[in-house]
Each structure stands twice: as C-alpha cells, then as structure tokens.
Amino acid sequence: MIALRVTDLRVAYGQVVAVHDLSLTIEAGDALVLLGPNGAGKTSAVEAIVGLLPKRRGKVEFFGEDISAMNTSAIVRKGLALVPQWRELFPTFSVEETLIAATTAADKREPKSLESIYDLFPVLQARRQQLAGSLSGGEQQMLAIGRALVANPKLLLLDEPSSGLASGVMRTLIQAIKRIRQSGVAILLVEQNMEIARSVGDRCCMLAAGTLAWQGPMQEAIKHDEAARIYFGDTRA
C-alpha cells in the first residue's frame, strides 16, 4: 500500500523555483531518505507536502486521498506528521504541555500515551515540567519528535534531525527513529548526514537544484559515491 505519492510537485517563492516537478512514493512502513546539498529544495519539498508552503502545481496523495489542497492542520490530523528543521517548539510551554497540545492532531485516532513518548526518550520524563525554551538542543529535538509522534501518525517526515547535534545525541536519535519505524510508521527522512541516512533508510532520493538527480537503493548510493558528485561537482575538472 502506498502511504505517500507525490506527483510533479513544484514549489516556488515568487520567481524562485525551489522544487522542480518532483515525484516520489513511499510504501506504508517504508523508510525513504531525501539527500542533497543545501539549497537543493529538500526542506521546501517536505514543507509543501504538509501544506506549510503553497504548491505551484502537482499532486500529493496520502493513502490514496488527495491532500494537495488541504491546509496544514487538516493534513496533520490525517496522520502525516512533520518534525521541522527548526523544531518550531513553543518556548513558554513545558515538555508535558507541548505533548498534550500535540494530541490535538490525533483528531479521531487514539493518541499515544505520554508514557510511550517518555519510554522512547526517558530524558523528557525527567524534564517534564521544564519549559521547552530551556532544554538543550538534543532534548529539544527529542521533544519535537515526541510532539509529532504523540498524535499517532502513519507517516513521519523528519527534516534534518541531526543538524547542530553532538554525535552522542545523534546515536540516541538513530535508535529512536529505528524503533519508530519498527512500530510500523513510514518515514521520510531529509538528511545531509550519511551516517544517519544509511542506518535509517532503505531507499534514497537525491535532490540537486530542485530536481531529482538520482534515486535508488541506499547501498548503491554509498557504493558509487553519488552524493559527493552531486555536492561538490566534478572535482577532477
């Protein structure tokens, strides 16, 4: 069953075309990694999928339902959650209140219990009453993931969860993402960090300058050093 099907998605800011006719699909329970250098349009693509950015054209289907014209809150309530690049937490909310607020997105589904989130990230339980704004970078990232997860989504989009984090925290995150995947949630991961990408994803799409430059199994991408070619250009020239 196809969880997400994106067809000919185009995203533009004024005259700047950030994403150029992108098509991709994710099977239910699958994990896809979106790779690409800065400015390739990865963030624009995922933000347009959840409706945070307007789409110029193209179609987005979620479990067969056309969600192209819906606004973000409606899309999120369908069970498509995003952990945004800049986390977008509420600094004045406590950890617990943040999670409670996010259960709104469960809509008619049964939300996950807060305990299940604390089970995934025990440090959040210890910080339960602390304000989100006072957490460390890694804890904030965990809270952002917990916030997306508490509404019991069917597909989780993660936009560069590793950015600005120390490698110890990164390992915790990788473990958590693997566990989320094992629980049956499909994952679309936007990453620059190959280490996370290869340990989470099976398939990989590479974006460059807003277009799909390469796609295939993760192993192939690593073997042929596709990423380096796309990032740095042909350095032998």
Partner 1 sequence: MSDKRFGFAGLGPTVFILICLVAGLALDSYPKYVLAITIISMVIGVALVVLVGLGRCITLASGSVMAIGAYAATLSMVHLGVPYAAALLLAILAGAAAGWLIALPGTRFRGHNLAMVTLVFQSVCIILIREAKWLTGGAEGIRVPPPSIMGWRIASDSDFLIVIGVLSALIVLLMTILVRGPFGKNLQAAAGNEVAAETFGVSVPGYLTAAFVVSSAAIAFAGALAAPRIRILDPDSFGVLPSISMLAYPIVGGMYSVWGGLLGGGGLRVLPEFLRPVADYQELFFAGLVIVVVMFFPGGLVELLRRGSALVFVRDAKRGSAPIPAAAASPIAAAAEADASQVLLRVEGVDKHFDALHAVNSANLMVPVAGIHGLIGPNGAGKTSLFNIISGFLEADQGRIEFGGTSLLNLRARDRIRLGITRTFQHVAVFGQLSCLDNVIIGRGRNAVFHSMQQSFEYFIDGPGAVAARREALVALQAVGLVDQAHSLAAALSLGDQRRLEIARAIISEPKLILLDEPVSGVSESEVEGLRQLLLRINAERNIAMLVVEHNIPFVAKLCRTMSVMGAGRIVAEGRPAEVIAMPAVRQLYFGEESAA
Partner 2 sequence: MLAELGNILIAGIKFGAIYALAALGLVVIHKATKTVNFAHGAFAMLGAFGSFLIVVHWQGPYWLAYLLVPILIGIIAALIEFLILRPLRRADMFTVVIATVFLGIALGEAFRLIYNTELLAVPGMFVGAPFVVSRVFVTKETLWVIAGALVTALACVMLFHHGKIGRGMRAMASNVRGAQLCGYSVDRVYMFAWFLGGALAGLTGVFVAPITGVSVELSIAVITAGFVAGVIGGFDSLRGAILGGLLLGVVESLAAAYVSSAMKNCVSFILLFFVLMWRPEGLFPERVARRV
CB 166 within 8 A of CB 159: no
- CA dist 109 and 96 (Å) reads 20
Torsion of CA 106, 108, 114, 120, to 10 degrees: -60
* Number of residues in contact with partner 1 under rule CB under 8 A: 31
Closer residue to partner 2, CB minimum distance, 12 or 206 = 12
DSSP state of 131: B
Footprint (CB under 8 A) of partner 1, residues 107-136:
136
- CA dist 225 and 205 (Å) reads 14
The 86-125 contact track toward partner 2, x by CB under 8 A, reads -xxxxxxx---x--xxx-xxxx------------------
Among 54, 91, 122, 164, binds partner 1 (CB under 8 A): 164
Closer residue to partner 2, CB minimum distance, 169 or 197 = 169
CB 101 within 8 A of CB 94: no
Give the tokens for residue 21: 């006719």
13 binds, among partner 2, partner 1, none (CB under 5 to 8 A by kind): partner 1
| Contact residues for partner 1, defined by CB under 8 A | 13-18, 37-39, 136-137, 160, 162-164, 167, 192-196, 198, 209, 222, 227-228, 231-235
